[in-house]
A and B are shown apart, each in its own frame.
Chain A
Amino acid sequence: MSQREYHIVVLGAGGVGKSCLTAQFVQNVWIESYDPTIEDSYRKQIEVDGKQCILEILDTAGTEQFTAMRELYMKSGQGFLLVFSITSLSSLTELHELRDQIVRIKDDPQVPLVIVGNKSDLDDERVVSRARAFAVSQSWGNVHYYETSARRRANVDEAFVDLCRQIIRKDAATSTIRDMERGSRRQRDRPSHRHRTHHHRGHRGRSQRPQGISCSIL
C-alpha cells in the first residue's frame, strides 16, 4: 500500500521555538543561532502505529508582520502544532486567534491540533503554569497539550506523533464517508491531503451546487 502524505503546519508567536522544535524532530539537531523563519518546509518519514507515513512539515514565521501568509498555510494544512513558550504569557494568548482562524478556515472545530508549551527546560523563567495551559486545551475541546524542550529534545516526537495520529484518524473517517458518497455521485479527484475548500456549504444545505452557481441554458 502506498504511503500516505500528511501536511502539518507549525504556528505560534515569534521566538517561541517553532523552528527549533521542527529541526529537532526532523534532523535531530539543536539550533543555537538567531535565525528568524520566513517559511521553511521539511519532509520526514515516520511510522505511526505500524503504518508508514510521510509528513510534510511547514515551519512558519512567528513575526506578526507576516500574518498575511497564514491563511494560505491554514488552507493547505491538515494538522496544526500550535506552539507557545512557557516563559511568555502573551505567546499563549496569541494562540487563541490562531486557533479561531484555523477553525474558521477549516470550518471544523475538531481539526487535528496539539498545543505545545515549549522551553520547559527554562522552568525558573516559567510564567505559564501547566494548569493554565491545560485549561486552555480543555476549553478547546480536550485538545492535547504537550510541554516540550527543543533544547533537550524532550517530548518533541510525542507531540508530532500525536498530531499525526489525529490526522490519520480523521483521514480514515473522511475516506469512509467519501466511499459511501461515491455510490451516488462521482467525486472529483483531489489529492488526499487537500481539504475541500467549500466544506461549509453543507451548513446551508446547498451542497448540490459545487460552484455556488446554477446554470440553465434556455
Chain B
Amino acid sequence: MSVVVMPPMTRTSTSSSSSYVAVSRQNTISSHDGRSARQSKRYSTALYLSMSAKEKDLEIEDDLARAQKIQRDYKAKISSQSKKNFVLEKDVRYLDSRIALLIQNRMALEEQNEVASHLEEASDLQEGFFPNDEKTQKYGNLLFMLQSEPRHIAHLCRLVTMAEIDSLLQTVMFTIYGNQYESREEHLLLTMFQSVLTYQFDHTQEYSSLLRANTPVSRMMTTYTRRGPGQSYLKVVLQEKINSLIELKDVDLEINPLKVYTSMIAKIEEDTGSVPEYLPKAVTAEQAAENEQVQAIIAPRLKMLMDIATSFLETIIEGLDETPYGIRWICKQIRSLSKRKYPDAGDQTICTLIGGFFFLRFINPAIVTPRSYMLIDDTPSEHPRRTLTLVAKMLQNLANKPSYAKEPYMAKLQPFIQQNKERVNRFMLDLCEVQDFYESLEMDNYVALSKKDLGLSITLNEVYATHALLEKHSAALARDDNSHLGVILQDLGPAPAQLPRKENRAINLPLFSKWETAIDDMTAALDITQEEVFFMEAKATFVQILRSLPTSSSVARRPLRLDRVAEAAATLKNDAVMVRKGIRSMELLSQLQDLGVIDRSDGFALLRDEVEQELVHLGSLKEKVLEETKKLEEVFRTIRDHNTYLHGQLETYKSYLHNVRSQSEGKSRKQQKQQVLGPYKFTHQQLEKEGVIQKSNVPDNRRANIFFNFTSPLPGTFVISLHYKGRNRGLLELDLKLDDLLEMQKDNQEALDLEYVQFNVPKVLALLNKRFARKKGW
C-alpha cells in the first residue's frame, strides 16, 4: 500500500553517506557517523539507485537481500494491519458507547440500523475506481499536493474539531503517510507535526499550560505513538517489567496512610472480631500518617516501590537506542521550540516539557493501562494496578520535579527523585540527540518527482471525507483563490457525501503534480555534477559486483583492486548481467580517472575506500536486519492478536444486536422458523483446556465422567447443562441470556458460578460466538 518511492533495492546502503538519514534504521539512528569528508554533495548509493532506471538489472540475490525482503514484507504488513486496527478500534469505541443503550432497549430502530451499519465488515473492501478519469486526475493532484506539502494538513489539523480529528488522522497517518517505515512519508508526517507544534508554542501564553490540553495535536501524538515503531518500543522495553509486576497479584504496596489505615482496621476487625477503641474508624490523613503501625507497614513498601521504579527507569534509559526516531525527533522539536520561546529556560524547564510528552503521553499511559496498549492480556488485579499507578506517578514526578507534593505521602518517595534526577535529565536531553532530515527530505521529494508511478491506496470515503474537511475550512486554508490548493479545490467542486459502507471502495490513486512535470534529469534537479553521478554509479556497481561474487574469490581480498574486480566480472562466464556490470565499471573507472576524481596510481583509493566501507557496513547490516526483523515479527503478531480481539468484540456486539432486533421484530414476524441450535457436547477436560472452566470443584477422578451440553433455543438465549455419564438427566441446568453475559463482561465480572465449576465469562462468550453465530440476517 501507499506510495512506492524507492525501488526495494535501495534500502541496501541507506546510511553510507552522511547526508542521508535512514528512517528504516530509525531505532539505531545514533550510530550515524560523519566519516566521509566529501560529504556535502555525496548522495548515497541509495539515492543513486533510486534514480537509476535500470532497477531490474540491479537486483541482487544474497543473504542480505533476502533478509531485507522479509523485513520489508513485515513492515508493509504492520502498516496495513495497524490501519485496520485503527478503524476497528473506532468501531468498537462507537459500539461500546451504544451498547449500554442497547442493553436497556432504549434505542430506536433507526439508530439500531445505524449501529448495524457499523458492524459491516470494513476490512474486506472491494477494489474500485472513481466515476471517471477526470475525477481520478483531480484527486490525484489534490492528494499529491497534500502529501508533498504537509503544511496544508498541518493547518487543517489546527482547524478541525476534536470530533473531526479521528477521521482526518485515520486518513493522514494510516493512508497519506501510511507507510510507517518509509522515510519520505515518515519525514513528511514529522514535518507536519513540527508545524502543528510550532503553532501551539506560539499560541500558548503560559508555560504551565503548554502541551497540557487535549487538542488535535495530542490526539496526533497518541495516534503516532501507536504506530508500529512505538508499539515495538513499548513491547521491547516495558512488557517484561509490567508482566512480572502483574503476576504479584497479592502484593499490596499502598503507601497512602489513609488507605493503609483503613485496610489495617478492616484486617484487625476480621481477625479479632472487633476494633480496639484507640483505633477510631474515621481518621484524618495526618492521624493515619502518625500511627506507628501504619508507618511500620509503609516503610518496607516505600523501599520496594523505589526499587521497582528504579528498575523501570533503568530499562527506559537503557532503551535509548530502541526509542523510535520519530518520538525522539518530537522531543528534539519540543526542546528547540522551548528554547526559542523561553531563551532563559534552563535544562530543568526544558526537561519538564519533554517529560510532558515522553513520559506523560507515551510511557506512563502504557504503564497505567497496559491492556489498552496491548502489553498484557487481562486487566490487572487491584494491587498490581495500584502499584503500576504509583510507579507511573513516581516517573512523572521525576520528569517534572514539582516543587510541591500534592499528596503529602508522596514526599516520602523524595529519595527516588534525588537519586535519579540528574540521570533522567541527562536521558531526556539524550533523547533529543537525533539527526534532522530536511536535507534528505528535499532529496526524497525530488526522487518522488522522478518516479512516474507514484500511487496511493486509499478508500473513496477517505478521499471524500478529506475533501469535505478541506472544503469546510477552505476560507482559512486557501485564502487566495489562486493558491495551488484553491485552484485544485475549485477544479474539484463540492465534496461528495460519504458513501454507505457497502459502496465504499479501495482505490489505487495515481499521484502527480498539477504544476510540476516529472523530473527526467536528476542531475539538474539536485544540482549535482556529472562527475558525482559517475562516482555514485561506480560505487554502486562495484558494491553489487562484490556482493554477487563468492566471498572466497581472490579479487574480494582487501585492499580491493578495483580494476581487477571489474575485469573479473567482465570475463565471468554465463552471466551476461555481471559481464555488463564489469564492462560498465571499467568504463566508469576510466571516465573518473579522466575527470581527475580518482587516481590509478594510488589504486583508486578514494573510490576503493568508500566501496570497502560500504561493504563493511552491509556486513553488519545483515545482523541488524535479522535482529530488527525478529522484533517486527513480534509487533506484527501483537497487532494481529489485537485485531482478533477486536473482531471478537465486534462479533459479540453483532450477536447482541441481532438478538435485540429479532426480539423487536419477533412480534410481527411470529418467530419464523426459529430453529434450535445444538446441543453441542463438551467434556470437562475440553473446557478446562480452553480456559472456559477457570476453577473446578469436581474431584479429579470424577472429571472424566462430566460433560456439558450447550443449546441455543432462541437467538441470544443459551442453556448449559451439566451431565454425569450414565445418567439420563442433567445435574444442573443454566439459563443464560447473552446480554447478561455481556454486562458481566462489561463490569469486569469474570467468574460465572455453576456450583460445581466456575466458568470464565469472556471465554464462554467466545465459545458461544464460535458455536452459535447465526449467519443469517447479519
Contact = CB atoms under 8 A, between A and B. Distances in A.
Contacts of A212: 737, 740-741, 743-744
Contact of B733 (A29, A40, A43, A218): A218
A35 B755 CA distance: 50
A198 B555 CA distance: 80
Contact of A218 (B360, B368, B729): B729
B740 A91 contact: no
Contacts of A113: none
B734 A43 contact: no
B406 A23 contact: yes
A149 B736 CA distance: 53
A218 B731 contact: yes
A41 interface: yes
Contacts of A211: 740, 753
B755 A41 contact: no
Interface in B390-419: 392-393, 396-397, 400, 402-404, 406-407
A180 to B, nearest CB: 24
B559 interface: no
Interface in A46-77: 54, 59, 62-66, 68-69
Contacts of B758: none
A88 B105 CA distance: 37
Contacts of A93: 161-162
21 contacts: A13-B214, A14-B212, A33-B208, A34-B356, A34-B400, A35-B402, A35-B404, A36-B212, A36-B356, A39-B389, A45-B284, A64-B218, A88-B213, A90-B161, A90-B213, A198-B743, A198-B747, A213-B734, A215-B732, A215-B734, A218-B730
Interface string B98-119: 0011011110000000000000
A94 B212 CA distance: 14
A184 interface: no
Interface string B353-397: 100100011101100110110000000000000000100110011
A201 B558 CA distance: 81
B352 A100 contact: no
B360 A36 contact: yes
A29 B406 CA distance: 10
Contact of B105 (A42, A105, A204, A213): A204
Contact of B209 (A15, A42, A68, A94): A15
**Which of A5, A100, A213 has the most chain B CB within a 10 Å cutoff?**
A213
Nearest to B755: A215
**Which of B209, B281, B400, B741 has the most chain A CB within a 10 Å cutoff?**
B209
Contacts of A35: 397, 400, 402, 404, 406
Contacts of A16: 213
A14 B200 CA distance: 15
Given A14-B218, A35-B400, A125 B732 contact: no
B285 A65 contact: no
B668 interface: no
A63 B360 contact: yes
Interface string A1-27: 011010000000111100100010000
B392 A214 contact: no
A218 B722 CA distance: 10
Interface in B712-737: 729-737
A198 to B, nearest CB: 8
Nearest to A42: B407
Interface string A123-167: 001000000000000000000000000000000000000000000
Nearest to B353: A34
B258 interface: yes
Contacts of B360: 36, 63, 65
Interface of B: 97, 100-101, 103-106, 161-162, 205, 207-209, 212-215, 218-219, 222, 256, 258-259, 281-282, 284-285, 352-353, 356, 360-362, 364-365, 368-369, 371-372, 389, 392-393, 396-397, 400, 402-404, 406-407, 729-737, 740-741, 743-744, 747, 752-755
Contacts of A173: none
A213 B736 contact: yes
B735 A200 contact: no
Contacts of A214: 734-735
Interface in A64-119: 64-66, 68-69, 88, 90-91, 93-94, 100-101, 104-105, 107
A38 B392 contact: yes
Contacts, number: 159
A186 interface: no
Contacts of A23: 406
B473 to A, nearest CB: 16
B356 to A, nearest CB: 6
Contact of A14 (B106, B213, B259, B285): B213
Interface of A: 2-3, 5, 13-16, 19, 23, 29, 31-43, 45, 54, 59, 62-66, 68-69, 88, 90-91, 93-94, 100-101, 104-105, 107, 125, 197-198, 200, 203-204, 211-218
Given A13-B214, A68-B371, A204-B104, 10 more contacts: A15-B209, A33-B400, A63-B218, A64-B214, A65-B364, A104-B101, A125-B205, A197-B747, A212-B743, A217-B732
B404 A29 contact: yes
B40 to A, nearest CB: 42
Contacts of B744: 212
A97 to B, nearest CB: 9
Contacts of A3: 282
Nearest to B214: A64
Contact of A31 (B215, B282, B368, B406): B406
Contact of B400 (A36, A62, A69, A203): A36
Given A13-B213, A38-B396, A63-B218, A213 B740 contact: yes
**Which of A15, A35, A69, A211 has the most chain B CB within a 10 Å cutoff?**
A35
Given A34-B352, A62-B212, A69-B368, A90 B162 contact: yes
A-B complex: 5 closest residue pairs judged by Cβ atoms:
A15-B212, A212-B740, A35-B402, A65-B365, A68-B369
Contact of B735 (A14, A42, A213): A213
Given A33-B208, A38-B396, A200-B103, A100 B734 contact: no
B737 A63 contact: no
A71 B421 CA distance: 33
A65 B753 CA distance: 35
A38 B406 CA distance: 12
A45 to B, nearest CB: 7
Nearest to A31: B404
A40 B284 contact: no
B402 A66 contact: no
Contact of A94 (B162, B208, B284, B352): B162
Nearest to A19: B406
**Which of A33, A34, A36, A218 has the most chain B CB within a 10 Å cutoff?**
A34
